Amino acid sequence: MQAQTFHTFPAPAKLNLTLLITGKRSDGYHLLDTDFRFIDLCDTIDIAVRDDGVIELLNPMPDVPADSDLTVRAARLLQQASGSTLGATLRVHKRIPMGGGLGGGSSDAATVLLALNRLWGCGLSREALMQLGVQLGADVPVFIFGKNARATGIGEQLTELALPDAWYVVCKPPVHVATGPVFQEFSQRLLTGKASFSIMRSLSGATQKQNDLQPVVAEIYPAVKQVLNRLSEYGSPLMTGSGACVFLELANEDQANKVFHSLSGEMTVYVAKGLKAHPVSDGE
């Protein structure tokens, strides 16, 4: 094998600017109505093409076998679907906190699919890559879709969303929130009348920004509630996804930096700018 030349690709985090639970299918999947926004808080992935067909991850996470890592699974899935005989050496630099509802793992997988589709010369369409992505996780397709989007159904029905410029302060409480139990608790609350499905948005798409999972997570995880209360001193914060991260939208960078500096001694906090589109194209 020849000496490896690495190419570096960003994998942006996402925020759910609103997250409504609108129903539940007979197979147990919840129906969603959510707005995804990409932000410039990014992991980065170094990729070198190999000619021996091997997929190698140089820095697997502790306690996660490399074969189970989403980036390795994504590369092998594309290899199988495209018939490519090439391989890849991967190195992931994590900046997006895990277990925070920011989609870091899904974004990493999507970036590998987008980048290798180009580097291997596979020529798969964006739609074909999205079909591969859904096999890896529900949030992977939106990153391949490549635009800020409104998602309905179980998250697979995507419509491009035009969003104004904005800055965000994103706070990570010191807890890891597992998605499955949060949805299970929401379902239990539906049975007891402590929660209800949200009404679908109007045709204009207008809705008050809310996250139907936020009350559940704030009750189970006091640390999330504490961060929500602290950020509410500066505006109207919202939890993203199923948690644990909480964000506040601000009009400009100066406002975001002021909030950041007031909180940075108390908790893990980031300043991020909203993106218009995913920074990696699909190679078309």
Query: Among residues 14, 33, 212, 225, which one is catalytic?
Result: 14
Query: Among residues 35, 108, 139, 212, which one is catalytic?
Result: 139
Sign of CA dihedral 18, 19, 20, 23: positive
To the query of whether residue 139 is one of the catalytic residues in this protein, the response is: yes
| Nearest of 6, 13, 106, 88 to residue 46 by alpha carbon | 6
To the query of whether residue 14 is one of the catalytic residues in this protein, the response is: yes
Query: Would you name the residues annotated as active-site residues?
Result: 14, 139
